[in-house]
Structure 1
């Protein structure tokens, strides 16, 4: 992808998010674009940053660390880890990321907390919820969510910001909205249960369901191929 193509696709993604917010009668700054840069080279991240994008999502730890090492000069860049997180990778994530979206069990949360350097701000985190109840998907169930949230809120080096989900694919808007509505309702329930917590984030919505997610209150939408083009999985 050329720099011109990247500029056009990023502009298109921003316009799509703006249109979805307007259609949902929400303020123009009510949701942010998270550019999913997994499998994409550092120079593409640099160009997106030059075009004003600041938040980037990565799924693979070593790939992300290599990119971060190349991009240390970029001011204001914010790194989100959005993929499944194994216990042997938590230290690298705790030391090098600003956000983690994929906490779905207590062990991972405690390791991230214990390994977050004191020199850094607490790590902003979301709990990943299996909103569609798919056996093959990562994520905590709705019935276990409050207990996990309570644990994370007790950890001083983590800051619980909200919930994330990757719902089952659906074609119709109404079907897309169903699991996203459940996630929104779950976040509202957590706000009532823990009124002092900074629970302001719904990380949901990708290329196929962005409009549905915005209608249900998404504050972070994750777009990858719509910005950077088709992924080259051989780069993993």
Structure 2
């Protein structure tokens, strides 16, 4: 990879880190409260490696086969891999075996399959329930009212570790998603009354992550702000 691309990545990474830290300061939170996840879907392994060389450890993928190729190529780098895309049941075995986190669990069957197919030599798979916070037909996820039942089921599966909730607010929200982020935080707080170990709000992307941090995000998923505009997927 050329020096100019590496330098561009470094500049973007520094800007995002600075924005993250400024948003945490504004919210009265320590910067280490918020984990930056680099969304590397459609990006080549050498760009992931370049960002890893700058200190980034958490990477997220949407497309399984593309992700498996990168995980294999970068296996010696000790990266943390997050799956954030819709989950087809015929893909759960590979997801369970190769990822550290899954942010997009949205139904009982997927949760049970991930549990049953998680290799016993690996630690329990960290999972978040995806919430369709704005009730959009185009998005996966359970309604806020369905979270508690799915959380209870996941809590009883020994090879999964329920960490919290994930959501993607509607793109055209006038408040930059603030209301949706706040609702997700309130939903997590409600479920935490009976499951006090929940600690994750996976919310906020390139255009709205500072708002998400103000509303309590613990994990922000950043793609374009780090890697630039995405190429068209073949």
Alignment of 1:58 onto 2:61: yes
- 3-state SS of 2:190 partner: helix
- Alignment correspondent of 2:95: 93
Distance 1:214 1:72 in 2: 31
In the alignment of these two chains, the number of paired residues is: 231
- Alignment correspondent of 1:84: 86
Distance 2:106 2:56 in 1: 28
Distance 1:108 1:151 in 2: 11
Distance 1:3 1:211 in 2: 25
Distance 1:171 1:120 in 2: 40
- 3-state SS of 2:123 partner: coil
Choose which of 139, 144, 150 in structure 2 pairs with 1:137. 139
What is the TM-score of this pair, normalised by structure 2? Answer: 0.96
What is the TM-score of this pair, normalised by structure 1? Answer: 0.95
Distance 1:126 1:211 in 2: 21
Distance 2:192 2:58 in 1: 25
- Alignment correspondent of 1:176: 177
Distance 1:234 1:53 in 2: 24
Structure 1 residue runs of 4 or more that deviate by more than 2 Å after TM superposition: 170-173
Q: Deviation of residue 181 (structure 1)?
A: 0.5
Q: Deviation of residue 232 (structure 1)?
A: 1.5
Q: Deviation of residue 171 (structure 1)?
A: 5.5
Question: Where does structure 1 lack aligned partners over 5 or more consecutive residues?
Answer: none
Question: Where does structure 2 lack aligned partners over 5 or more consecutive residues?
Answer: none
Distance 1:176 1:78 in 2: 27
Root-mean-square deviation over aligned CA pairs: 1.1
- Alignment correspondent of 1:112: 114
- Alignment correspondent of 2:204: 205
- 3-state SS of 1:18 partner: helix
- Alignment correspondent of 1:161: 163
Distance 2:213 2:139 in 1: 22
Alignment of 1:146 onto 2:148: yes
Distance 1:227 1:165 in 2: 20
- 3-state SS of 1:185 partner: helix
Q: Deviation of residue 234 (structure 1)?
A: 2.6
Cα deviation, 1:48-69, whole Å, max 9, x if unaligned, reads 1100000000000000000111
Q: Deviation of residue 73 (structure 1)?
A: 1.4
Distance 2:38 2:232 in 1: 17
Distance 1:210 1:185 in 2: 18
